[in-house]
Amino acid sequence: MPASSPRKSNGVEVSSFVNNHNDTYPHISPAIADLSGKSMLITGASKGLGKAIAIRFAMVDCSKIALVARSPLSEAEKEVKAAAAAAGHPEPHVLKLNVNVSSEASVRNAADVVSQAFGGSLDVLIANAGYSADWDHPLAKSDPSEWWKTWETNINGTYLSARFFTPQVLASSLKTVIVLSSVGAHHIYPGASSYQTQSLRCAGLPSFSTRSTMQRGWWPLPSIRAESRRRWRRRCPSNCARS
């Protein structure tokens, strides 16, 4: 196939299959939820979507919240506690952990710390930490170490999180795991070969956990994190955004 005629993707079809939301709607409103006495952990919690999710859990009275990231977490902790107070809930037990999710030793140690702090169980695990190499170069001109770093963080990091926190999730009442991926799994853009291929693999990883643990009541919940329209257009030329 000529280089000028790239294979089309099904990104547009996938995006049109679901409803896009930019804010809370009644079915998932914090006003109808109550997670008092429950615990949760989210990776990539220092900023962006990870921090926003942690804040929402504080708004529904989640009692124990573990924030995991490589970056400083003081600001995220402050906002999480403020959200709980604004919603009229007691201050949650916030555990801050500086962790490299692509390091087995780092994740294993974090699991031990959380187990001790939260009494051996974890109701909700959210694998959100992610990395993306620059999209400026096609595969043949990519930096191998940067290319692989995306997989180390997004695939290996998700695997290690599930691997070492599974015993605590199975010991809880909610038994919930959410793995965040991207609509990039359904697009093909030459400069995003590492990010978009890992997105596809990451979305399928929970299926293996389901097969091996469903008899014990664990049903991991895969989730798709769509790129914001502004971010997608900034990274991709107009013909890619429409492909």
Summarize pLDDT for 114-172 with one digit per residue, the tens: 999 999 999 999 999 887 777 777 777 777 777 777 778 888 888 999 999 989 999 99
Mean pLDDT of 199-214: 66
What's the pLDDT score for residue 232? 35
Q: What is the pLDDT of residue 18?
A: 73
Output 243 or 227, whichever has higher pLDDT.
227
In this prediction, residue 4 carries a pLDDT of 42
Of 70-79, 96-105, 211-220, least confident by mean pLDDT is 211-220
- pLDDT of 224 reads 42
For position 90, what pLDDT does the model report?
97
> What integer best gives the mean pLDDT of the chain?
79
Interior/surface letters 81-108, b for 16+ CB within 10 angstroms, e for the rest = bebbeeeebeebebbbbebbbbbeebbe
Closest listed residue to residue 128, CA positions, set 184, 75, 77, 202: 202
pLDDT over threshold 70, residue 220: no
Domains of the chain as residue ranges with CATH: 19-241 (3.40.50.720)
Least confident segment among 135-149, 172-186, 198-212: 198-212
Per the CB < 8 A criterion, the answer to whether 51 and 76 are in contact is yes
CA distance 106 to 100: 6
Helix (H, G, I), strand (E, B) or coil at 124: strand
Structure tokens at 217: 């009541």
